[in-house]
Chain A
Amino acid sequence: MASYQTFTVPRSVTLSTEQMERVEECLDELAMNTGVLNTLLTDSTGQLITLRGRIDKKRAEALAALIAGSHAASAEFIKLLGKEAPFVNLSHEADDYSIYSTNVADVLILSVAFGGEVKIGIVRVFIEQARSKLSEIVHETSSANSDDDSVKIRLVDEDFDHFLDKEFEELTDHKK
Chain B
Amino acid sequence: MASKQELFEEILNKMNEEGNFDAAVLSLKDGLPLASSRLHDKDDMAAVMVTLLNEAAHKINRELNLSEMDEISIVGDDRTRLVCRYFSVNGSDLLLTVVTPPDRAYRRLTNQTIKEITRVWLS
Chain A residues with CB under 8 Å of chain B are 32-35, 118-122, 124-126
Question: CA–CA, A118 to B6, complex, Å?
Answer: 9
Question: CA–CA, A75 to B34, complex, Å?
Answer: 29
> Given known contacts A32-B1, A125-B92, is B6 in contact with A119 (CB within 8 Å)?
no
How many residues of B are in contact with the other chain, CB < 8 A?
15
Contact across chains for A119 and B35 when beta carbons are under 8 A apart: yes
Name the distance in Å between A108's Cβ and chain B's nearest Cβ. Answer: 23
> Given known contacts A35-B6, A125-B92, is B32 in contact with A119 (CB within 8 Å)?
yes
Q: What are 25 residue pairs bridging A and B, where the CB atoms are less than 8 Å apart in the complex? A: A32-B1, A32-B3, A33-B3, A33-B4, A34-B4, A35-B2, A35-B3, A35-B6, A118-B3, A118-B5, A119-B5, A119-B34, A119-B36, A120-B32, A120-B33, A121-B32, A121-B33, A122-B3, A122-B4, A122-B5, A122-B34, A124-B32, A125-B28, A125-B34, A126-B4
CB neighbors of A among B21-71 (8 A): 27-28, 32-36, 47
Most buried by B among A119, A120, A122, A125: A119
Question: CA–CA, A122 to B36, complex, Å?
Answer: 12
Residues of A near B92 (CB, < 8 A) are 125
Question: CA–CA, A32 to B4, complex, Å?
Answer: 8
> CB-nearest residue of chain B relative to A121?
B32
Residues of A near B1 (CB, < 8 A) are 32
Contact across chains for A121 and B3 when beta carbons are under 8 A apart: no
Contact across chains for B34 and A121 when beta carbons are under 8 A apart: yes
